[in-house]
Amino acid sequence: MNLDSALKMLDYWVELGWLRALDHAFAEFVCTISAENNDAPTGQLAVLAAMVSHQVGRGHVCLDLSHLCADAEATLVMPPEGAAKLAEAPDSLWRPADLFQNTTADQLIESIRNSNAVSDGSHSTPLVLEGTRLYLRRFWRYEQAIAAGIRLRFSPGARENDQQLSRALDALFGKKGEVDYQKVACALAARNRFSVITGGPGTGKTTTVLNLLAALQSMASQSPNADPEDPYLRIRLSAPTGKAAARLSESIGGALSKVPLNSLPGAPDASAIPTEVTTLHRLLGSRPGSRQFRYNEDNPLPLDILVIDEASMVDVDLMASVFSALPETARLIMLGDKDQLASVDAGAVLGELCQRANDGHYRPETLDWLKTVTGYQLPDELADTEGQPLDQAVGMLRKSYRFDEHSGIGVLAMATNEGRFDKHLIKQCQSQDFPDVAWLGRSALMSDPAESPSVPDALIPLARHARSGSARAFANAGEGRVVNGEAVAAPVGYGHYLRIMSEQRPEATDSEADRPKWDFWAANVLSAFSQFQVLCALRKGPFGVDGLNRQVAAELRASGLIDKTEGWYAGRPVLVTGNDYNLGLMNGDIGVTLSVPWDRDEQGDPVQTLRVAFPSSDGSGTIRWISPSRLQSLETVYAMTVHKSQGSEFTHACLVITDRLTPVLTRELIYTGITRARHWLSLAVPQEAVLREAVGRSVVRASGLARLLS
């Protein structure tokens, strides 16, 4: 294919919605650069350049040419969901499968290897070829920087500290008969200046990192080199989003009092463990309108330890910026669930770092060291004489303290991860074998299940479920449940927060001077709203965010719980969709619109006005009241995508599966949606076959990070 034909084909794909205009523009840019440097750009180069850009837009760091040749349409997901179908074309080269089905990766490599737009990274070119992976240069540099930052921190600490560490861990965890993987993860993290602690919901990641920080501060205060005036390490806690930061801050604030600091050597002061959590962008000193941060390799962060929670949400761009800003001597600790969805933007850093975590792969010397420090002999299946350096820095928490053997949420999460959401498990859900799971299948969503699915009919009972929570749909919801000795309230829907908004509202005569009353009320409304959330796989379509937001709002209005469904109204929940540094709001923050009598008419009498109440991002529990006119990037949030829900937990979550298979419906998405539910889970499944097939599909993002660290 010559260059003109290739560019014409790419332009046609843009018209169909298969490619972004940006992808086409990048292909033209690469060809222009090539021509300006006395090269003759080929159609093959143009197509591959567009495909690399396309893959980055889909979250991949690079384009793997071997995967492209093996199955082009699956690799590129072309045509994408919702795009126009292929019309009659002048030749057979209009589909990716036709372009690459008779081509090998070696042939593609040979066709671009000598182009002056492609290099191995040793000199500046728009594309970098490494093995079978083709990168945009910027993303190749990100990956190299992350790998270099991790390798720099692999060296184990001094062995003379082993006894101190062992004493500290025994004081924190005691000496139990069975292996305590929290204690093991703490030991591994203390051994290296880079570490990962991964585990599912309820496995105690926050507890583990608090104990780790306490042990490190204990050891620091006992060091002969410690400053008598200030013997402690400088620690900063961070998360990718404001909501994740607030949640970690709240968790740490509640858990710190349980850490036995007085029993540790040196009895470190509680002030040595920070409770304030900030977003990574704020920590690095983001500059609006710029990719650059205030803290970088020339101006490193003033810290000794950095903890990043919800690390699965961090993309390669931001992670590279973190390593750039870290002092060489600083310790980095990453926390997260390796099985969750990866970041919205390019990369799946945590997932790639943890891809061997299930099997441990600990070397004999690591196992011997762990036995010395923790007293535990790890199972033989976690041993590997050929274990990689990265394996020795990854600790996996293997016991859930939230979900027991009776928990349907725990069973479904495990089954999803293992790709076995089979008919037997679905039957258990339908028979209400799990007290914490409600199955809203076809019979529950359709007025006549014998008929073919009717989407409008299906949304009506789903919206009613969102309003009430439908406690009757759960096996023992009316009786309540006890989890880890704590009574769990019955499941609720959105009617719960709206009733609290109405019933607990202060007297209209209370003015802004009575601010604590209004703050207390708003905090109760926000807390009630956070107890329930509808989660969707898609944004568009009837079973997506847009369709369900409209249907739920209509149901709430019909029930007299809200006054209208469009524009601003009391009770409208909103999700911030872009960072606003002037207002101190971050992407993912949620607020509720409330009516307050803080304005005055000409006679000085109170006038009702709308304000949006947001919880503070520092976990302090204070409320920020913001005028709707000042809010720019937001949307109504009766329903949100599973991606947007990451970093959040809800007492009761309703996960809505689409009525047809789509590329985004994967094992990781369903697992993430299920595990957003803390105590109650509703599963809305119009088509069982779609759920079963989706669980069998796992997303693997193209990247070379793991290879760089092997």
Which uninterrupted H or E stretch holds 198?
A: strand 194-198
User: CA 37 to CA 280: how far, in whole Å?
Assistant: 40
At residue 309, φ and ψ (nearest 5 deg) are -90, 160
Q: Which residues pair with 197 in a beta bridge?
A: 335, 395
At residue 456, φ and ψ (nearest 5 deg) are -55, -40
User: CA 367 to CA 538: how far, in whole Å?
Assistant: 45
Ordered alpha helix ranges (H), 225-277: 242-255
The answer to the question of whether 336 is labelled as a binding residue is no
Ordered alpha helix ranges (H), 455-595: 455-468, 494-503, 515-529, 545-558
Question: Order of strands across the sheet with 127-130?
Answer: 62-64, 133-136, 127-130, 118-119
- Residue 529: CB atoms within 10 Å: 23
Burial of residue 352 (CB within 10 Å: 0-12, 13-18, 19+) is buried
The answer to the question of whether 300 is labelled as a binding residue is no
Rounded to whole angstroms, what are the CA distances from 249 to 137, 211, 260, 281?
A: 37, 15, 19, 16
The answer to the question of whether 202 is labelled as a binding residue is yes
- Residue 121: CB atoms within 10 Å: 15
Rounded to whole angstroms, what are the CA distances from 525 to 364, 494, 591?
A: 54, 11, 10
| Listed residue (367, 341, 336, 372) closest to 353, CA to CA | 336
Q: Where are the beta strands (DSSP E) in 498-649?
A: 532-536, 573-576, 590-600, 606-615, 623-626, 634-636, 639-641
User: CA 51 to CA 55: how far, in whole Å?
Assistant: 6
The answer to the question of whether 204 is labelled as a binding residue is yes
User: CA 611 to CA 629: how far, in whole Å?
Assistant: 9
| Listed residue (654, 657, 675, 683) closest to 492, CA to CA | 654
User: CA 233 to CA 272: how far, in whole Å?
Assistant: 8
User: CA 249 to CA 616: how far, in whole Å?
Assistant: 11
The answer to whether 688 and 337 have CB atoms below 8 angstroms apart is no
The answer to the question of whether 206 is labelled as a binding residue is yes
Q: Which pair of tokens denotes residue 636?
A: 């109504």
User: CA 605 to CA 377: how far, in whole Å?
Assistant: 73
Annotated binding site for ATP: 199-206
Which residues are documented as binding site?
199-206
